[in-house]
Structure 1
Amino acid sequence: MRYGEIIGLTWKDINFDKHTIDINNTHGYKYRTGFKPTKIHSSIRKLDIDPITVKMLKNLKYE
């Protein structure tokens, strides 16, 4: 993932049941432009995440 995609993640992008993260936007941190679409359409994708990461993310969300 690109840095802008990482800081552009929200909790709605994480599917805890299917163990995936949806990459569908980015955050314009450099020029402070906020959330915006990814650079190119093919950058929109789903990433699989392992059960340990899912558990860690759940702990972060619900604390």
Structure 2
Amino acid sequence: MAGGAARVRRTGDGAAAASGRAFAAIRRGAVAEHRIWMVRSYALIFAAVTFRLRPAVLAGFGLPFDRA
């Protein structure tokens, strides 16, 4: 996997794990723990989105794709 794709994959795996922990916490009735895990999941999901969009945005400014 290329560097950026591997980073998105790892971030996605982390988001899936955090979401799973959040689901398990809410099923146990641990609302505060669920909230913490959902914040982590949200942050990881949008980190992955940022990693995917960054090269396209920087390329739009005229930077070569390999430097973006």
**What TM-score, normalized by structure 2, do the two folds share?**
0.28
Higher helix content, 1 or 2? 2
Scaled by the length of structure 1, what TM-score is found? 0.30
Structure label with greater radius of gyration:
2
